[in-house]
Structure formats: structure tokens, C-alpha cells
Chain A
Amino acid sequence: MTFRLRSGKKGLELRLHDLEATIMDVVWGKQLSSFAVGDVLAILEKQRDIAYTTVMTTVTRLYEKGILERERDGKRYLYSPKLSREEFLQSTAREVLDEAVGGHQAMAMLAEKVSEASAGELDDLEALIQKRREELDA
């Protein structure tokens, strides 16, 4: 499962890049309640060529986004997921939905002065759809 969600301004940062999503898949899939960078690396190395520093950087980023928490264990950190997969999906789905259709911002959009979309604006929208299609295909 790949998480490619829209970024939010508050709460969880919702966009998980591919490697972040892969690592969280490993953490949740293997039910790693407490793990070091090396533990994830050992699993990922079986699937692909990957450097320790890449995994460490990504795990740190997940910690900074609030998806993982950590505690010091000697010279290393032990990480654990803050949320279960279901809790994460629920919160992200909610925030994606809020971002897409809810809240004051969306209502403010509808309150804008009515103006018929120009050909250029429609082109931009089509380009946006095409871009998302390519992202999903990739």
C-alpha cells in the first residue's frame, strides 16, 4: 500500500513520499512496536538496494512529521509508531476530505465572485488532472 496524500498545514503532515510509505508499510506490516533504523534496513535490504543513511534520514523525517515517536537507547534511537495503520488512515482520510471539501476555506472558495472559467483555466485544470494521473500511474 502506498500513501500519497495531500499535505496539510496542521496535524499530521499528510504527504508520505514513496520511501516513507514503504517504511511505514514495513513498520505496520511487521508490527514493529519498537525498532531501530537497522531493523527496518534489514527488512528493506531484502527487497531493494538501499543505504543505511537513506533509511535513517527517512525515519528521522517520519519522526519529525509526528508519525513516529522515539526514545534514546544508548547511542541509538528506538522508534515506535504513534498511530496504528487504521488510525493513520482514518485521520488522513478525514484531513484529506476536510482539505478537499470541508472547512471555511472551501466555503470561501464558493463565496468568490462568480466568473465563468476561461479556456486557459480549463487547460490548467486538465493539466492538473493529467499530472495526478501520471503520479498515480508511477
Chain B
Amino acid sequence: MIEATFPLLGTAFVVLIVLPAFALLAKAGLVTLERDEAGGPLHGLNLRYVLLTGSSALPIAWLLSAGLHQAETGKSALACLFDHDTAELCFEPGFFALVLAAAIFASSIGVVRKHRGARASSTDAARTLVRRVARIIASDPALAGLHDRVVATDDVGFALGTHGLLKPRVFIGTDFAARLSDEMLASALGHEAEHLRALDPLRYLILQLALAVNPFGRFLLEPHAARWRAAREAHCDREAVIHGAAPLPLADAIVRAARPGAREAVALGARDTAVLRLRIGMLLAFSERTPARCCHQGPSAFPVAFVLLLIALLLPHQTGTAALDVLHTGAEHALTYFWR
């Protein structure tokens, strides 16, 4: 049995079987949540996010941690003891962790590359826009969080979007801003302020990564992820209105951002017909009655996700790595069976 067997076969098993199985479980949970008629698309956003990302991140974290744990202690895994005769050290779990990490890294490159903002401009048009935005922000306390966090860009076709992972900034295209009244721009900034406050670019990136590292399971989860993104946009609309944004100018800005020419996919949301109809319908209703926060959102997604990730990382060190041994022996026995 060559030493590369488990690292390669185990990684293939994780990608082909383990992650899709977790995706299936997450899908069952998501379907249940989405079928809750008392809820609706804006309910349980954090729980849905944890299911979408956790179904990939948690098993991977556990497997990486378990592989490193077995390698770092020098203790032989069961497979090494039984199948490798008298071997005292077994580096295969460590190699497995490395191969798995490499596979994750390779599948993530595309996502990270796509995730880049526009470039800031310093032309006259951009400076004029920055001054205009500063005036709007100064006149609206609800937008105070955007102070020094708005960047103008001459990037052709760029509308509006929040970029940056830990210190996000709002980018505004000068062409797009020129098509908006001050009221529309203020409302649109209110929407982006919620993205900024909640570190949504980071959330979106983690979600994209979670789907990218699960190439087979993602087919199960992609529709739910799209609905989550749409609901998140609608949530930001509602939060903007709650904080004082005018619903109809925001609706106008959303429709204008969806016009052909704006390439920014996250510009005030997507261009999808159904999502636009839902969000515009919602804002029309809000123009008659200011919304309240309809539902308990539960604990924030980030702390919950962090704690779950920590548990997944620590668990192998505390409760053992039997599942990795099963994967290890299973992979090698399967190969032996097919080679026989």
C-alpha cells in the first residue's frame, strides 16, 4: 500500500461522499425552515446561514484538525497499527490534512479572485461625488457609520456595492450616482450601511467559499443560498427603512441599479426578476406603514459560527479521532478490494 493512498483517496471520499452528505442534511434543515409559513424569507436568516456554511466548514475543520492531531502527536492511527505492520509513526493523516487543505485552497482561488472591489478614482467627477455623499451623510444621523467609508469610482458600469472584509467600504460609481436624486442616494446608502455594519462582504465570501469547496453538494444548496442572499438584501432594505430611509426612493434606486450597464452584482441586490418584484413590493408596502422588526433573529451568525468552528477544531483533540480512523481504514480497504 503506497503512502499516498489515504491522503488522495480520503480527500476524494470527503469531497465525493462526506461533504455532499452534510449538504443533504443541511438541505433538509433549510427546506424545513423555508416551509415554515409563519416565517417567510426574512426569518431565520442567521440559522440558514449557519446551515449553508457549516455543512462544509464544520466537517472540513474537524477532518483537518483530526489529521493534524494524529500527525502532531506521532501516535499511529489505527489504520497504521493494523495495516502497516510495526510502523511506529504514521504520517498519513498529516498528509491527508495537507492534501485536503490543498484541495480546499485550489477550489477557493477562483472565489477569492472574483472578490475584489472597484478602484478608487480621484477625478473631478469622483471628488464631486465624494463631496455630495459627505453632505448627505452629514445631514442624516442614521448614515453616520459611513463617515470616511465611502469611495467614488469612475469604473464604467459600476453602480454601488460594499467591499472589504474586515473594514468594508461603500463604492459608488460616478455614472450611477449621477442618475440618482439625493433622496435616492441617501436611501441607497442606508441599504449599504446595513451591509457594512453586518460585515456582509465577509459573510458573502465565506458563503461562496463554503459552496466552492463542496463541488457536488453545492448543487443541493445553491438554490437555498440564492434565496438567502435575496432575503439578506430584503433585510437590508427593511433595516434601511427602519433607520429612516425613504422606501420609494430606495425602490427607485434598486430598479435603476438593475438596469443594464451596471455590472456590480451586489449593487443594491440582484437583477433577478422575482427578487426585484419581492423587494419592490415590500418597499411599496413600507411606504404605507413603517416596518418593525418582525421576528427574533436569534444570536448573531458570526459568534455562533465561530463557536461551532472552535468546537469542530477542538473536538478531535478531546474526544478522539475514531471517525478519521474509519475513513482511513475504509479508504485503504476499498482500494485493496478494487485492486484485488
Contacts and interface: CB of A to CB of B under 8 A. Distances in A.
Interface of A: 4-6, 89, 92-94, 96-104, 106-107, 109-112, 114-119, 121-122, 125-126, 128-129, 132-133, 136
Interface in B227-278: 227, 230-231, 234, 238, 248, 251-252, 255, 258-260, 271-278
Q: Is the interface of A mostly helix, strand, loop or mixed?
A: helix
Contact of B280 (A102, A106, A114, A129): A129
22 contacts: A94-B294, A100-B281, A101-B40, A102-B294, A103-B37, A106-B40, A107-B41, A110-B231, A110-B275, A110-B278, A114-B226, A115-B272, A118-B273, A122-B259, A122-B276, A125-B276, A125-B277, A128-B284, A129-B248, A132-B248, A132-B284, A133-B248
A133 to B, nearest CB: 5
Contact of A121 (B223, B273, B291, B294): B273
Given A117-B276, A125-B255, A129-B280, A101 B248 contact: no
B255 A107 contact: no
Contact of A103 (B40, B230, B287): B40
B258 A122 contact: yes
Contact of B282 (A4, A101, A112, A121): A101
A107 B259 CA distance: 24
Nearest to B234: A101
Contacts of B260: 119
Contacts of A98: 40
A109 B274 contact: yes
A102 B259 CA distance: 27
A21 B336 CA distance: 80
A81 B12 CA distance: 68
Contacts of B147: none
Q: Is the interface of B mostly helix, strand, loop or mixed?
A: helix
Given A114-B226, A126-B255, A128-B280, A6 B288 contact: yes
A96 B41 CA distance: 15
B285 A6 contact: yes
Given A101-B41, A119-B260, A114 B272 contact: yes
Contacts of A133: 248
Contact of A126 (B40, B227, B252, B285): B252
B34 interface: yes
Contacts of B34: 107
Contacts, number: 114
Given A97-B294, A107-B41, 17 more contacts: A96-B288, A101-B41, A102-B40, A102-B294, A103-B37, A104-B37, A107-B34, A107-B35, A109-B277, A110-B275, A114-B272, A114-B274, A117-B276, A122-B258, A129-B251, A129-B280, A132-B284
B42 interface: yes
Contacts of B117: none
A97 B285 contact: yes
B289 interface: yes
A92 B41 contact: no
Contacts of A117: 258, 271-273, 276
Contact of B40 (A107, A116, A128): A107
A106 B230 CA distance: 11
Contacts of A104: 35, 37
A92 B289 CA distance: 9
B40 A129 contact: no
A111 B227 contact: yes
B255 A122 contact: yes
A105 to B, nearest CB: 9
Contacts of B41: 101-102, 106-107, 110
A96 B238 contact: no
Contacts of B42: 101-102
A119 B252 CA distance: 14
A132 B274 contact: no
B95 interface: no
A111 B258 contact: no
A115 B258 CA distance: 12
